Amino acid sequence: MHSTDAIIEARRQAEVCNACRYCEGYCAVFPALERRRAFTNSDIAYLANLCHNCKGCYYACQYAPPHAFAVNFPKVLAEVRHETYAAYAWPRAFAGVFERNGVIVSLAAAIIVTVVLVGVGWLQDPDVIFGIHTQPGAFYAVIPWSVMGGLSAVVFLYSMLALVMGFVNFWRDTGGRASELADITPLAQTASDVLSLRHLGGGGHGCNDRDESFSTLRRWLHHATFYGFMICFASTGTAWFYDTFLNWMAPYPITSLPVVLGCVGGIGLIIGTAGLFWLKLVSDQEPTSRRLLGADVALLMLLGTISFSGFLLLGLRATPAMGTLLALHVGLVLAFFVVIPYSKFVHGVYRAAALLRNRLELRNSTAPQRVLPAKPADKGETAEIFSASAK
């Protein structure tokens, strides 16, 4: 990771924090910071992705603006985080996509959806597109299975490869070794951290989602989005299994597993993305970076629109609108999988990698470690202190 203005500023602020140490019980970032005497660019990249942007240290900081030290750690770490997405992107030629990411992701999605809609309109008979199809295999009458499945498989595999390569780039740059990835205990601990979003719980009291007050709303909205996405993915996987191995073709009955999973996941996605978007609008802008806003909004809008188009397709699948809605939904899903390695979606990959690095550091450290944040009211008194060896 090369030096940038944001990295230099984050290093300055990290050095102030390392001298102050008031926030050492707030999150995993400060203990990780205290394990270092100096900060390389890669250290700063790691700390930036370990930060879950709770903003607690900003509201606690006696050196925040207008103090001359001008410490605003959440904001500067968010800026570095944004730069790491470009620095670790694969292939490197696409790193520039993270500049003006919101515009580029939205444009790419719009172009892909248009190409699918125009392609279906051009290649398919209008009687088929606007006909009423309710029999098993009705969707494939509009878009053949070989085209829908083949295109999705190619795009999905490419995106997974790009995300894995991004992880490898981060891991190498922050000093990780391949052998560490076979260590089961830290891997299991990291999986638990990710699946429970433990750090967004702030040790029970939550984060400063909107302002100085604490709440767990952001954590629950993240849960709704993450698990909504995973349940939708399970719905698609079940439909693929039915089609490939049982020869049961879509559309499926309302009570079938793919439809039930799709509805539950879709509701979760709509609630999660709408709530996170609302939080972005109403939260205090001081400890946030405006550079990330476009990327955040573009991803949330894309996920929300996919869910909404899925429900429209479900509700109108027995009408002449089915063909157009199917093309729209398939286009949106395809667009999503094309853009994910170059969208805000990558934050999940790098945060998981940073959490794994943190777990490995905790295990290898001989110093007593705070592994749970302290409550703000009695910081330092109720923080649970565990020795690294005990974990």
Site residues for ligand SF4 per CB under 6 A: 16-17, 20-23, 26-27, 29, 51-57, 60-63, 71, 73-74, 77
**C-beta of residue 269 within 8 angstroms of C-beta of residue 229:** yes
DSSP state of 62: T
Least Cα distance to 23 among 150, 151, 208, 189 occurs for 208
Tell me the torsion sign for CA atoms 99, 102, 103, 105.
positive
**Which residues neighbour 142 within 8 Å (Cβ) at sequence distance 6 or greater?**
120, 124, 128, 129, 133, 322, 323, 326, 327
**Which residues neighbour 265 within 8 Å (Cβ) at sequence distance 6 or greater?**
227, 228, 229, 230, 231, 232, 233, 234, 235, 307
**C-beta of residue 104 within 8 angstroms of C-beta of residue 37:** no
Q: How far apart are CA 328 and CA 307, in angstroms?
A: 12
Least Cα distance to 1 among 178, 162, 174, 163 occurs for 174
**C-beta of residue 21 within 8 angstroms of C-beta of residue 34:** yes
Q: How far apart are CA 102 and CA 295, in angstroms?
A: 4
**Exposure string over 277-313, b if 16+ CB within 10 A, otherwise e:** eeeeeebeeebbbebbebbbbbbbbbbbbbbbbbbbb
DSSP state of 385: E
**Residues counted in the chain:** 391
Chain centroid to Cα 41, Å, comes to 23
**C-beta of residue 249 within 8 angstroms of C-beta of residue 140:** yes
